[in-house]
Structure 1
Amino acid sequence: MPNSPHWSNASAPCRVEWRPSRWLIAALCVLAVLANVSLLTSDLAPRLAWPLAVFALGYGLWLAHRESRKPPNEIVIHDAGTRVEVDGERIEGFGIEWRGMLAFARWRDGEGRVQRRVWWPDTLTADARRELRLAAPVETSPRAPASMAP
């Protein structure tokens, strides 16, 4: 039909921003304090407990500070995962795994290093989670060999 509209099979790219999770930073701070308290209330000798408690508290707070200082990333997924860009740089080997409401992304950057990002519920809205789930590359598993002889 000459008057029928031309439909496009292409979909708009999925743009998702990753930023550090406040929930994770708070959890790291709480765990640092709990590690400190658990060492001090254990049966460990005080001359060993105090230095270990100070170290556990300092290390936990350092981890929380390091997590809070990570720069945000913009991830763009084009054409159902066939092309993925992170901060404008095209990357290979992008994959997403889901565990409940958490989304784990993994890829290799331009220098070959493995990069990982986790979206917690406070950093990814339900709409963005749905969009990411639909746009993520689909991993197909190979078929299992037949269990019986032919």
Structure 2
Amino acid sequence: MRNSPRWSNGSVNCRLEWRPSRLLQTVLIVLGVLAAVSVLASEMPRLFAWPVAIASFGYGLWQARSEGRRCRPVFWFPGNGRPPTVDGAPMVDARLHWRGSLAFLRWRDRAGGRWRHAAWWPDTLPAAQRRELRLAAGDGEAGRHRRDRAP
């Protein structure tokens, strides 16, 4: 007879709503400003430099605005070998890659077979949700100290 309660139900799942990163939007605006300043600092004739500088700054603003207006899909990683879904549609060949605290997801949509992608920046995915995503996606590196675990 077992007296201790069961702490886990055996399923690892994760529900994430993607949202645009304010950090990325800020970086895009700063890059537009730096591009404009670099054009003005170059030896390009002023007659051509000002329109190029204004266009590069405007392009940076446009990129930041379009990033902020992207649709907000909901991702569901049910774990236990079941396929993940995005907005209720199953993802085919989903791959999750990590670069530090950045998470990159690539998958094929079932309807057209086109590759789709999503990226979570540190300001959109807190540490607790990053851990939850690593566990639900089946990442073998979910534990920080692999030496501490038995083979």
Shorter-chain TM-score tier: 0.7 to 0.9
* Structure 1 contact 82–137 (Cα < 8 Å) conserved: no
Asked if 1:108 is matched to 2:111, the reply is no
Deviations 1:13-65, CA, capped at 9 Å, x for gaps: 21112110000001101111111111011111112211211211111111111
Q: Which runs of 4+ in 1 moved over 6 A?
A: 5-9
Query: How far apart in 2 are the matches of 1:37 and 1:78?
Result: 48
Change in Cα spacing, 1:17 to 1:29, as seen in structure 2 (3 Å) is same
Change in Cα spacing, 1:81 to 1:132, as seen in structure 2 (3 Å) is farther
TM, length-normalised to structure 1: 0.82
**CA shift at 1:93, angstroms?**
0.9
Asked if 1:77 is matched to 2:77, the reply is yes
Asked if 1:134 is matched to 2:140, the reply is no
**CA shift at 1:107, angstroms?**
0.6
* Structure 1 contact 81–138 (Cα < 8 Å) conserved: no
Query: How far apart in 1 are the matches of 2:68 and 2:43?
Result: 34
Question: After superposition, where does 1:18-33 map in structure 2 within 5 Å?
Answer: 18-33=18-33
What's the RMSD between the two structures over aligned residues?
2.5
Partner of 2:87: 87
3-state SS of paired residue (2:91): strand
Partner of 1:99: 99
3-state SS of paired residue (1:71): coil
Show structure 2 runs of 5+ residues with no match: 141-151
TM, length-normalised to structure 2: 0.81
Aligned length: 139
3-state SS of paired residue (1:121): coil
AA aligned to 2:120 is W
Change in Cα spacing, 1:38 to 1:80, as seen in structure 2 (3 Å) is farther
* Structure 2 contact 20–70 (Cα < 8 Å) conserved: yes
